[in-house]
Amino acid sequence: MSKEVRRAAEILRAGGLVAFPTETVYGLGADASSEKAMARLYAVKGRPADHPVIVHFTSAKQAFEWASEVPDAAKRLAERFWPGPLTLILKRSKQAGDFVTGGQPSVGLRVPSHPVARQLLKEFGRPIAAPSANRFGRVSPTTAAHVREDLGADVDLVLEGGSSEIGIESTIVDLSSGVPVVLRPGKISSAELGMKSGASSVRHSGGMERHYAPKTPARLVPTHELDREISQLKARAAVLAFSRPDERVDFWLRMPRDPAAYAQKLYAALRELDGAKCDAILIEAPPAESGWEAVLDRLRKATA
């Protein structure tokens, strides 16, 4: 156990905020049992009080104490995917206060696999509420530097854990009412889960139209229209594409053709495109093939 992790746990115990790495993106953590700590988390994040946050645990056993009902499907998914990039929405038990659920009858539970996240959870000994460590509506951080850029002195400590391996947020499955639904696709796909993607009746920030968005207006462009779009550019543009740079374009970032590798680089790329200070961002649409569901979901939100 490193000294940094011990310090982080002390900060959490004192009601402070600690950003920490997970395998998906960096989270902004607070003591999920403390109303005061949660109020500070919501204020820094800029998230509306009636939106829920995900609670992180060391084990399925600990996580399920926060649920009033654990359907067999939840046990099976936990067995198969935890620790890992999956969040389960279940009916909440009395452990889960209104200040983590946004006053809703369900709660989001996740057991992350990143070793630093696991060390922190173990050292703190209690569940940690953690939305992605960005301000509300902005691109999620995949490095400690991204967190510092976004949150600055508003976060008491940022634990270093390198670049997030997956790069996009966890898959969210809602098991709190009737038919299981994927609320947010991630590395674990709806196909792999054998479930439909669907909308939630619940208020959740990831479900909002414009989310995960760069500041520069961004558009999704099909491959066969990219050349024409570029030839018609009137302003300085930054392009995110699969092919080699086009000399007519001011700033060009090339992305891998593999969806997992693409996801890993996506948020850092969006930040870089934003940083290029262009007037527009063009993003080449990924191929209409399976495996791109989660990336496409984030690109749609970034360009909505």
> Which residues lie near Mg ion (CB under 5 A)?
132
Dist CA 146 CA 142 (whole Å): 7
Choices 68-76, 98-106, 141-149, 285-293; region in contact with ligand TXA by CB under 6 A: 98-106
The site string for ligand TXA over 24-53 (x = CB under 6 A, - otherwise) reads: xx-x-----------------------xxx
Choices 19-27, 61-69, 263-271, 275-283; region in contact with ligand TXA by CB under 6 A: 19-27
Strand partners, 109: 55, 88
CB of 143 to Mg ion, least distance (A): 16
Which sign does the torsion angle of CA 81, 84, 88, 92 carry?
Answer: positive
Q: Which of residues 127-146 bind ligand TXA (CB under 6 A)?
A: 130-132
Strand partners, 138: 213
Which of ligand TXA, Mg ion, none binds 77 (CB below 5-8 Å, type-dependent)?
Answer: none
108 sits near ligand TXA (criterion: CB under 6 A): yes
Contact yes or no for 186/166 (Cβ under 8 A):
yes
Which of ligand TXA, Mg ion, none binds 271 (CB below 5-8 Å, type-dependent)?
Answer: none
Dist CA 107 CA 96 (whole Å): 7
Which of ligand TXA, Mg ion, none binds 34 (CB below 5-8 Å, type-dependent)?
Answer: none
264 token code pair: 């890993």
Tell me which of 9, 11, 88, 89 binds ligand TXA, using CB under 6 A.
Answer: 89
172 sits near ligand TXA (criterion: CB under 6 A): yes
CB of 28 to ligand TXA, least distance (A): 8
Element (H, E) at 171: strand 171-174
Segments of 155-205 assigned E as strands: 157-158, 171-174, 181-184, 196-197
C-alpha Rg value of the chain to the nearest Å: 19
Which sign does the torsion angle of CA 292, 197, 59, 49 carry?
Answer: positive
Q: Cβ–Cβ contacts within 10 Å for residue 68, how many?
A: 16
202 sits near ligand TXA (criterion: CB under 6 A): yes
Which of ligand TXA, Mg ion, none binds 189 (CB below 5-8 Å, type-dependent)?
Answer: none
Strand partners, 54: 108
Number of residues in contact with ligand TXA under rule CB under 6 A: 28
CB of 249 to Mg ion, least distance (A): 30
Q: Cβ–Cβ contacts within 10 Å for residue 288, how many?
A: 8
283 token code pair: 């993003």
Which chain residues interact with ligand TXA by CB under 6 A? 22, 24-25, 27, 51-54, 87, 89, 101, 104, 106-108, 110, 130-132, 169-170, 172, 183, 200, 202, 204-206
